[in-house]
A and B are shown apart, each in its own frame.
Chain A
């Protein structure tokens, strides 16, 4: 049913979507009862009251159409959202009608998926030919990548019997980050503590690290012409990386089993995100390794975004075997970080 509803909302074939309010359902039920009573009794005054209820429903349909057809929604900026927390957005709308106001307009992004609660941007009245912005909020119950298929313009005006909506198509995705909890302090491994020093790998430092063959994209200034001439191919010099000691957050993203296994795994993802954000906030160089993939170390707000983006979509693996953790360890060994913070479900 939910899939069918989602399909109907995305379908262009039905340009308008209708949903009855509780009051609307009552009115329709009363109308059906009235019609039945009128036909059975032949009471023309009941036909008249029946006609009134049908006229209210019909006119409600026409007017709601007139109310929204001239409303053009504005573009929506990039949405930054964390699971379980309302993410605010501003949405604009323009009333192209030059004569009539539109009343009771609601605008919200059409996002796929279950557990998405939207508090629309509401416009009580949009005078003719005006544009306005209003705040709204959207809450995703789970982290992940959600498809956004358009912006919905909706109204229940004039009688609130039903809600008529129109979708202006656009294609986008919303990445919902895991929740980042505030962390006071983390006990880092001793190897991860310390001042700036040369790190034992190639980078942008000043100390010589080694030579290797030239690859496309290498800085031409690092070419060693003497060695290149001797070997008849381009050789470049490498330098040691200088900076903070790296900390890798090692996430074992597997379902440990049991009734709350998945929940524990999700909590682990949130903790990993919180740890990474905390360390990056302290100015550390942080990377992340999971059983699935890795985010290379980095620092600053961009690195927070990269890690959170990665954690938004990192899958929870079903097998809880020691091999998964070994896989993480192997990846860590290849990276040789200064310190590792393990996060297990």
Chain B
């Protein structure tokens, strides 16, 4: 994503405000050079004379979860987060699905890239043992290890030699087609706004700025990973053609499996989660336009990636997505009014 915020570990202690005999930025060397005299230390030990209980936190502070569950920070609407519904961001959905496959129990909270230590979502914040400790966040690169070591039902790990090649299909052509379709197709501008731009701010000025940042980042990303990185403009047709080919290849791979999961695994794996993250979102958000629904003669629009996924391998990928959805989210979750919400 764009507005990539990188974390800095600069914690500048300013000379204007901090200078003390008891503690400093490098306590060990300072103490050795200037030990606190004994009577002074005794005085320091006397104060404060009264210590009251801690101040309560502001209303916007996330309450410490009473059930001591970790929190996964993802792109999601407030309502989706409350019900633990699937995130609308492929990377977030992949890890959300994988953690659920592993049986890890967690809350999700809507967030932005600015909140992340790596500059990108998702990341997992472990539960706190006390209100004063600040646990280190777990970036997505370490989530597999976390799920395998903490989850009660760790998914099988794949060792296939072909895994890398197929993973590359997801990371390059399919991701590029997703970026192209959602971020750059004018037909999806309203959707992009709804998902990524509007939640950031109500201001038209900020939205316009964020929108153009997102678009520029998506464009740069597609160009960087496309076949001719020197080209100034990506070949849109080639991007969609590559995705179509990739989906057919994945459908072919899935057809080889007897278990219904990729590579013949007995249980869904991280790779299933990765494929599901794209197929689910494409089917849900980038399907046929409203007026084309149910019409058999609808023109084939390559940007409608949901249609591409639905057709791949004669519906093979769409069936996989249904299996995954049922397996991980079970029956449609129930919302506050007790109405069964369709995830679709």
Task: Say if A and B assemble together.
Answer: no
- B interface residues (Cβ-Cβ under 8 A, vs A): none
